């Protein structure tokens, strides 16, 4: 009888671990979430009101980029520059769209030869970007987030 009671008591004492729930610390949860979090992707791209009529995100993104390109193209088209030689240059414009939908230029990569031909190229591009309409910011997990776009601009003179 004593052996049975001893076995039952030892089973009861060791079985308590099976009923205990394992606690996961908040640091472990945050660490696991950060590993699965895609930092370079957004759920919804920035957009303009004019692009709302498009159905898919891909079409809205294309509309958004086209509107920016048109704005920059119009600004460059209205610039009078005397050029004597044909050239083809690409400008790399890095845009930031804030959480509030405002635009700013992060950086411009312009060749020195283009700066000589169009000395006010920075001002022209800056004015064209600041005159863009208010945008709907990008959304990531239900929150408005800041995004960055790289916009290549090809300038050709024949």
Residue 17 has what pLDDT? 59
Domain span at residue 78?
49-157
- Are 48 and 117 a contacting pair, CB within 8 Å? no
Residue 120 lies in a domain: yes
Give the model's pLDDT for residue 158: 72
9 against 65, higher pLDDT: 65
Q: Is residue 35 part of a domain?
A: no
Return the top range by mean pLDDT from 6-20, 34-48, 118-132. 118-132
Is residue 25 in a domain? no
pLDDT for 129 equals: 87
Q: Is the pLDDT of residue 54 over 60?
A: yes
Contact present, 98 and 146 (Cβ < 8 Å): yes
Distance between CA atoms of residues 137 and 102, nearest Å: 8
In a domain, 80, yes or no: yes
Asked if the structure places residue 18 within a domain, the reply is: no
Residue 91 lies in a domain: yes
Stated pTM of the model: 0.69
Indicate left, alpha or beta for 42 from its phi (over 0: left) and psi (-120 to 50: alpha): beta
Residue 15 has pLDDT above 70, yes or no: no
Domain count, the chain: 1
Distance CA 121, CA 127 (A): 10
**DSSP assigned state of 158:** -
**Position 87 pLDDT exceeds 70:** yes
CA angle, 119 then 124 then 127, to 5° = 150
- Environment class of 56 (CB within 10 Å of its CB; exposed 0-12, middle 13-18, buried 19+): exposed
- Residue 42, domain member (yes or no): no
30 within some domain? no
Count CB atoms within 10 A of the CB of residue 39. Answer: 7
Task: Using alpha carbons only, give the angle 116, 131, 65 rounded to the nearest 5 degrees.
Answer: 85
Q: Report residue 85's pLDDT band, with 50, 70 and 90 as the boundaries.
A: confident
Instruction: Report the alpha-carbon distance of residue 57 to residue 46 in Å, rounded.
Output: 10
The residues facing 138 across adjacent strands are 145
Give me the mean pLDDT over the 122-142 stretch.
87
Tokens of 12: 């009861």
More confident residue, 126 or 17: 126
pLDDT at 100: 92
């Amino acid at each position: 009888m004593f052996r049975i009671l001893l076995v039952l008591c030892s089973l009861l004492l060791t079985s308590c671990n099976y009923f205990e729930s394992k606690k996961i610390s908040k640091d472990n949860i945050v660490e696991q979430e950060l590993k699965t979090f895609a930092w370079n992707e957004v759920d919804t791209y920035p957009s303009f009101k004019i692009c709302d009529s498009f159905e898919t995100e891909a079409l809205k993104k294309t509309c958004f980029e086209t509107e920016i390109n048109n704005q920059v193209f119009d600004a460059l088209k209205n610039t009078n520059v005397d050029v004597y030689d044909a050239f083809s240059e690409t400008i790399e414009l890095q845009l930031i769209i804030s959480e509030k939908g405002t635009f700013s230029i992060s950086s411009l990569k312009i060749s020195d030869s283009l700066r000589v031909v169009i000395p006010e190229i920075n001002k022209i591009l800056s004015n064209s970007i600041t005159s863009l309409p208010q945008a709907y910011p990008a959304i990531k997990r239900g929150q408005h987030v800041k995004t960055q776009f790289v916009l290549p601009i090809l300038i050709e003179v024949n």
